[in-house]
Amino acid sequence: PLAWRPLGQDVVENAYKAAFEDPRFPPLEESEWGGLDLSVSVLTPPQRMSFKDEADLLAQLRPHIDGLIIEDSRRRALFLPSVWEALPDPKSFLSHLKVKAGLPAGHWSKDFKAQRFEAVEVSDKEEG
């Protein structure tokens, strides 16, 4: 996910898509707007990871730091670092990401690719 347009434009367009065009959820209704929490994650450029097998990949993951992009069998998915809050175990994190990509949780192949990145999250939530 490399930047290809100004950040402000990207935030506006992606917020709209998340609110009204995400096929996983019904579009937001006006009555829901007041209860929304807004957060924006600015990602570092992804870094391709080198690993010999799944165990090696899992050993390299840094929980609560790394976001992860996986790709295999023409499938691709991304988890932000914040997903570690719900899935703190690296094996579970990777298995759920595979399922998000449309792959079986236990999938592995010689063509499996992974990239890691970090994110800075800005939120409208107050600290504390």
pLDDT, one tens digit per residue, over 44-54 is 999 999 999 99
Query: What are 9-15's contacts with CB under 8 Å, separation 24+?
Result: 11/40
What pLDDT score does 95 carry? 99
Q: 57: part of which helix (H) or strand (E)?
A: helix 54-60
Q: Diameter of the chain by CA atoms?
A: 51
Residue spans per domain, the chain:
1-36, 41-123
Alpha-carbon distance of 13 to 47, in angstroms, equals 25
What pLDDT score does 125 carry? 76
Alpha-carbon distance of 104 to 82, in angstroms, equals 23
What pLDDT score does 127 carry? 64
42-87 pLDDT tens trace = 999 999 999 999 999 999 999 999 999 999 999 999 999 999 999 9
Whether domain 41-123 has CATH 3.30.365.10:
no
DSSP 67: E
Residue 97 amino acid letter = L
Give CA angle at 30 (26, 31), nearest 5°: 95
Q: What percentage of the chain carries pLDDT values higher than 90?
A: 76
Q: What percentage of the chain carries pLDDT values higher than 70?
A: 96
